[in-house]
Structure 1
Amino acid sequence: MKHSWWKESVVYQIYPRSFMDSNGDGIGDIQGIITKLDYLKGLGIDTIWLSPVYESPNGDNGYDISNYMKIMDEFGRMDDWDELLHEVHIRDMKLIMDLVVNHTSDEHEWFLQAKTSRENPYRDYYIWRDPKGDGSEPNNWASNFGGSAWEYNEKTKDYYLHLFSKEQPDLNWENEKLREEVYHMMKWWLDKGVDGFRMDVINFISKVDSMPDGEIKPGKNYASGSKFYRNGPKIHDYLKEMNGKVLSHYDVMTVGEMPGVTPDQAKDYTGEERNELNMVFQFEHMGLDNGPNGKWDVQELNLIELKQSLSRWQYTLANSGWNSLYFNNHDQPRSVSRFGNDEKYRVESAKMLATLIHMMKGTPYVYQGEEIGMTNVRFDSIDSYKDIETLQAYSDLKKQGWSEQEVMESLFKKSRDNARTPMQWSDEENAGFTAGKPWLAVNPNYKSINVEAERNNEHSIFNYYKRLIHLRKQNELIVYGDYQLILEDDPEIFSYVRNYQDKKLLVVCNFYDKEPIFKLPKGINFMTKQLLLSNYTVQEQSNIGEFTMQPYEARVYLLN
């Protein structure tokens, strides 16, 4: 397998609004990020993924872009961004940007022009359809944020498509002129020195031209049209063109966010001979705690299903393509609250989850605050939430007859704002994030969960992450070794072996607060063993053939 810098990287995602505020306005900014680069370097991070900092009216926290070549005033100016890139590079780190090109803001100049008349030259930059005979929407697709995916434009007497909010009109990738505009913008950033892109919902950019109705499920007003726009008919043509005209001319990293993508489809996107993308963000494992009625209908995670899912991705992309490894990002609740135990065993379970994901084959992603075990936040009122998806869900669920308590409990478990509360730097007011009033309330547990406390504690989650990242950098086995799941049917232990040349890595993770017995399967032969990492104190000479595990215990052994 070809070796590449992005395969050997550990990526840290920064959500700028919530990371560090330098000027006291309550909003994180670029200068704030610059002050924390040494912290990230000390953690062992190679690559920073910066969530959107472009000019935006901020309806969807920057994923509604009104100018791709300007910085949002709240975050700073282009001079600040240039300084950030310089400071990242002199520390021998890399910076990748969020690329949001499925849609723009409705305040983008292209759309402001497009909606004025059917003859406007920018008209075909977006997707328009005439109403049905009765004046209703062109089809019954639902927006991913609730309601219809179509909005009526009075001036031109027709509808435009928005797979997200009505302030986020979808771009028309059928239009070659639009594609050239996107490629021009990408080259502009790459020529400035950016090291790659995380591409937002990039598998949505090709729609089935006929846009047929979807099937409406009982109790719903609109249908999911996802099978008509996920991994659409021309998606590979567009990505090959993008690669040929832009990406192949630079040494960059690309990761495509792809809801609904399967392992076999991901192979087509990421195989080296395909010349499209380096890796994808898939969500299969992120949907395993969704009940029959979707995200807000929360159910218990089944560990065997998680093992099957992650292993399927490991096996399918073993020799062609590459995996992204993550449990957290700006759209997901905090993993220690979701899959671990954020009270009695917060430290142990956070370390176990990190071990499980970082020791797999692929590029690991750390989301801000994950490395100190930040948790979900319990807001008392819907008024405390800011996230557009959460507010829409609150309204929809109440209309469906959910009680206030049921709705708030679901939001506590699944709201995107769980990931967006300000970074907890210290036990000072507002967690050291801002001298002003934070844009979103700080999690009250910052008094005990913060970077300062973590750095000073040798046994902290932060220092465990440091060791985990260092271990990965020292061992090609962890980066490039083959993956083999063991104990497939064990309902409590997730264990696997990595094989590389004549060495093996044994990873054993207890996913619960019980004390199961681990038994090493026959056929895993070795002469010597070395304990590389554990979240408990373990005797080096302890027998690994069979042992009782502590709650949320994780161990990593090197076998020769």
Structure 2
Amino acid sequence: MTEAPWFREAVVYQIYPRSFQDSNGDGIGDVPGIIDRLDYLKTLGVDVVWLSPIYTSPQDDNGYDIADYEDIDPTFGTLADVDELIAQAHARGIRIVMDLVVNHTSDEHPWFVESRSSKDNPKRDWYWWRPAREGHEAGTPGAEPNNWESFFSGPTWELDEATGEYYLHLFSRKQPDLNWENPEVREAVYAMMRWWLDRGIDGFRMDVINMISKVTSLPDGEPIPGNPHLGDGTPHFLNGPRIHEYLHEMHAAVFEGRKEKLLTVGEMPGVTVEDAVLYTDPERREVDMVFQFEHVGLDHGDHKWDRRTLDLRDLRRSMGRWQEALAEVGWNSLYWNNHDQPRAVSRFGSDAPEHRVASAKLLGTVLHLHRGTPYVYQGEELGMTNVPFAAHDDFLDIESVNYYRMAVASGSDAEEVLSALRLGSRDNARSPMQWDASDNAGFTTGTPWSKVNPNHTEINAEDSLADDDSVFHHYRRVIELRHTEPAVAHGDFHMLAADHPSLYAFTRSHEGTELLVLANFSGDELALDGVDDLDLDGWKTATLLLGNLGEPSGSTAPLRAWESRVLRR
């Protein structure tokens, strides 16, 4: 029998370095600051730390625009600091995973500087260059080579005045897309990955990796209503024609034959469960797991900034479908939030003072008891909330800033746009980590690059560590459960009560042990008697393995507001 991969029993902690811990008072988090907090992560019990980008970068998109893959931005420290981080983490039994951003580089990367220098430069074909659309003059509206809309608003093409051609950028104009059709590009990327693995890191989280293969004819996308010049290009670059070939080639060129226990996770917007089975099938040798976006799109209307109330039944159907689809082949990644998503407790739970702690614990319980590898985003283990942004100039993220400018310019009500940003902006996740109740939350002795959430006086790590009933210690217990209870890491999954509006219930079973997870996603008491598809007769004498509100009056007693229980028999 093949040994189960190590990551099935692991929990990953994501650090957004800019906002985690500042060691030198410049207001920006850094690698020495992370080293200073490794004992905190050891206490929490996580197995892997994933670092958002710390490479040399102009910081147009907070480090996801990389100008040198093999050096560290001075903002974050030095390569020697990274070596020390790797050594110190490994000494504590914690692996280090780096962010891999290879769909695009910065426009300040030497590769692109060469590429744009002339049409006959040897690196010209390392990026996507095209002349103006036939019959149009370069620089005029509609002259772009196709009509694709950028994820950061506007067209995906930027005119380079020096050579008179456009280059493709699915994101910011300062993030030109690499041309993976060119084998020289692929080998340069693989060489860089090997360089990092040889340095001692333990794997990669691969940013928008399913966008690296484009339909080479770059056809127009379906027009976007209300804008005659923009279209949806995603069918032509999400899960593109050569994506499986590239990932298999990457695996062979970079990971094959290494004895280290590595982790590879691909961020893949628009991926389906059928796609994910192929990507994560161990026999295909592509990636260990994918980040999918289905469940974090359920509260979207026509677009990301059009928000609606989440229906728990939709969430349960989505999560259940992924559990079922990857039950036999492949593996799930599990997350509520990350650096690109609003705070989980404000989105899926309740950040009202009377419910925040209970709902934060409930979310941790439900997520970590699913089948898959859980990811904790910094501050999630404290129950950190969204930030109370007052005005449009409080927002720093390029996506939010661009959307506000373009939406207001097109006639949208400014206050309505602000309301949407407050709910969905990536800035919510990027406020400084709340270490204590002091000025700047113990994050920095200087002026923080992003405003500290004023609730840090009530929500912080120092108080949480001292309180055995805190969100932190609940997360610590949930993580320990994955390490000690085989049914959590390896058990089968079965969803219950699929049509209930506020009860989330499922079982996990493994080699004669069965767990029942019950969670009340509401502020009202929930009686369990008579719930369809929930037979509790065999659970009345079960052991309470984990609860978030203390001992209930009985294993199957009504669930209190935002209560969760894990029962074992």
- Provide the TM-score with structure 1 as the length reference: 0.97
SS at match of 1:308: helix
| Aligned-partner Cα distance in 2 for 1:60–1:6 | 30
Which residue is equivalent to 2:13? 12
Instruction: Please name the residue that 1:381 is paired with.
Output: 391
| Equivalent position SS for 1:24 | coil
Which of 362, 367, 382 in structure 2 is aligned with 1:352?
A: 362
Q: Deviations over 1:406-452 (max 9, x none)?
A: 11111111000000000000011100000000000100111111001
Please say if 1:320 is aligned against 2:325. no
* Partner Cα separation in structure 2 for residue 257 and residue 2 of structure 1: 26
- SS of alignment partner, residue 254 of structure 1: strand
* 2:292 aligned residue: 282
How far apart are 1:525 and its partner, in Å? Answer: 4.8
What is the match of residue 21 of structure 1?
22
Q: Matched residue of 1:113: which SS?
A: helix
Structure 2 counterpart of 1:201, which letter?
Answer: V
After superposition, residues 247-262 of structure 1 pair within 5 angstroms as 247-250=255-258, 251-262=261-272
Q: Does 1:364 align with 2:374?
A: yes
Q: Distance in 2 between matches of 1:361 and 1:468?
A: 13
Task: Give the one of 188, 192, 195 matched to 1:181.
Answer: 188
Distance 1:528 1:549, change over 3 A: closer
> Counterparts of 2:5 and 2:537 in 1: how far apart (Å)?
30
Task: Say whether residues 1:79 and 2:89 are aligned partners.
Answer: no
Superposed CA offset, 1:252-299 (max 9, x none): 10000000000110000001111100000000000000012x111110
Counterparts of 1:376 and 1:401, CA distance in 2:
27
Do 2:543 and 2:555's aligned partners in 1 also have CA atoms closer than 8 Å?
no
Equivalent position of 1:333 in the other structure: 342
Residue aligning to 2:201:
194
Shift of 1:539: 3.9
Residues 437 and 456, structure 2, Cα contact 8 Å, conserved in 1: yes
CA distance, structure 1, for counterparts of residue 176 and residue 111 of structure 2: 11
Say which SS state the counterpart of residue 159 (structure 1) adopts. strand
User: How many Å separate the matches in 2 of 1:2 and 1:304?
Assistant: 35
1:533 aligns with 2:546: yes
- CA distance, structure 2, for counterparts of residue 522 and residue 283 of structure 1: 32
In structure 1, distance between residues paired with 2:413 and 2:150: 24
Sort the Cα spacing of 1:543 and 1:279 in 2 relative to 1 into closer, same or farther, 3 A. Answer: closer
- Alpha-carbon separation, structure 2, partners of 1:482 and 1:410: 39
- Verify: 1:219 aligned to 2:220, yes or no: no
Work out whether 1:54 is the aligned partner of 2:55: yes
Other-structure match for 1:411 = 421
Task: State the alpha-carbon separation in 1 of the partners of residues 123 and 308 from structure 2.
Answer: 46
Q: Does 1:342 align with 2:355?
A: no
Give SS of 2:210's match: helix
CA distance in 1, matches of 2:24, 2:427: 23
| TM superposition shift of 1:65 | 0.2
| AA in 1 matched with 2:507 | V
Asked if the contact 2:482/2:488 (under 8 Å) is kept, the reply is yes
Report what 2:166 is aligned to: 159
After superposing on structure 2, the runs of 4+ consecutive aligned residues of structure 1 that deviate more than 6 Å are none
Q: What SS does the aligned partner of 1:548 have? A: coil
| Equivalent residue in structure 1 for 2:244, among 236, 261, 264 | 236
Give distance in 1, aligned partners of 2:536 and 2:179. Answer: 55
Letter of the 1:345 counterpart? H
Cα distance in 2, alignment partners of residues 401 and 156 from structure 1: 35
Residue of structure 1 in register with 2:459 after alignment: 449
Alignment partners' CA distance in 1, 2:180 and 2:536: 52
Q: Distance in 2 between matches of 1:175 and 1:318?
A: 36
Check if 1:486 corresponds to 2:487.
no
Percent identical across equivalent pairs? 52
Task: Report the number of matched residues.
Answer: 555
Mapped partners of 1:358, 1:543: distance in 2: 20
Q: TM-score, normalised by structure 2?
A: 0.96
Within a 5 Å distance, the mapping from 1:534-553 to structure 2 comes to 534-539=547-552, 542-544=554-556, 547-553=557-563
Q: Distance in 2 between matches of 1:187 and 1:103?
A: 19
Structure 2 letter corresponding to 1:435 = T
Q: Which runs of 5+ in 1 are unaligned?
A: none
Alpha-carbon separation, structure 1, partners of 2:136 and 2:256: 49
Report the CA distance shift for 1:173/1:450 in structure 2 as closer, same or farther (over 3 A). Answer: same
**1:210 corresponds to 2:212:** no
- 1:77-156 to structure 2, matched below 5 A, reads 77-132=78-133, 133-135=135-137, 136-156=143-163
Following superposition, the deviation at residue 130 of structure 1 comes to 1.5
Tell me the CA shift for residue 70 of structure 1: 0.4
Deviation of the 1:3 alpha carbon: 1.1
- Asked whether the equivalents of residues 115 and 125 of structure 2 are also in contact (C-alpha less than 8 Å), the reply is yes
Structure 1 counterpart of 2:182, which letter? N
Separation (CA, whole Å) in 1 of partners of 2:505 and 2:68: 47
Question: How much does 1:537 deviate?
Answer: 2.0
